């Protein structure tokens, strides 16, 4: 009985310490950055590679600033995306309009791009600790 109580106390202590992580792990940061960067169907256009946390700053127990580097690698070129958009416009003109606006946004942001083109990024992201772990502050309009 005594060993069962000791084991229970030990397990509770381990769970308590594990849940009190004061900074996000590199893996947690990478997941949150990927979610943000690849949102809005961007995962169809490019992938995120060579992720590396450069630096980090713990502002307080609930806020962390992560400085990261990564490459965006285009999966498809502008011509291929335009051809896909033309095919889609025959089936669903309204959806094609939305996709066309996304394509125009990518063109304005990255210029002419081909499949395999690589664009290095160096950015800072603000993460906050929530009940469900570390998340991007931008998810909460903070």
- The residue among 90 and 126 whose pLDDT is bigger is 126
What pLDDT is recorded for position 21?
64
What pLDDT is recorded for position 97?
74
Through-space distance between the first and last CA atoms of the chain, rounded to whole angstroms: 50
Closest CA to 51 of 126, 125, 121, 133: 121
Dist CA 57 CA 35 (whole Å): 21
Tell me: pLDDT of 127 over 60.
yes
Q: What is the pTM of this model?
A: 0.73
10 Å CB burial of residue 63 (0-12, 13-18, 19+) is middle
Q: Which residues, 6 or more positions from 136, have their beta carbon under 8 angstroms from its beta carbon? A: 32, 33, 35, 36, 125, 126, 127, 128
pLDDT tens per residue, range 25-49:
999 999 999 999 998 778 888 899 9
How many C-beta atoms surround the C-beta of residue 113 within 10 A? Answer: 21
pLDDT tens per residue, range 94-112:
766 776 777 777 777 778 8
Tell me: pLDDT of 58 over 60.
yes
How would residue 67 be classed by pLDDT, with cut points 50, 70 and 90?
very high
DSSP 3-state of 142: coil
- The residue among 12 and 130 whose pLDDT is bigger is 130
Tell me: pLDDT of 142 over 70.
no
Point out the least confidently predicted range of 11-15, 54-58, 117-121, 133-137: 11-15
Q: Name all domains of the chain by residue range, CATH numbers in brackets.
A: 23-140 (3.10.450)
């Amino acid at each position: 009985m005594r060993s069962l109580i000791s084991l229970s106390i030990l397990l509770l202590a381990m769970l308590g310490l594990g849940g009190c992580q004061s900074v996000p792990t590199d893996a947690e940061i990478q997941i949150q950055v990927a979610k943000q960067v690849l949102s809005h169907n961007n995962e169809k256009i490019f992938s995120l590679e060579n992720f590396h946390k450069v630096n980090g700053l713990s502002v307080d127990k609930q806020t962390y600033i992560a400085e990261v580097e990564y490459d965006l690698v285009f999966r498809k070129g502008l011509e291929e995306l335009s051809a896909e958009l033309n095919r889609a416009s025959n089936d669903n003109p309204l959806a094609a309009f939305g996709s066309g606006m996304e394509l125009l946004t990518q063109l304005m942001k990255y210029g002419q791009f081909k499949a395999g083109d690589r664009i290095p990024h160096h950015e800072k992201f603000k993460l906050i600790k929530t009940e469900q772990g570390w998340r991007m502050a931008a998810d909460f309009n903070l």
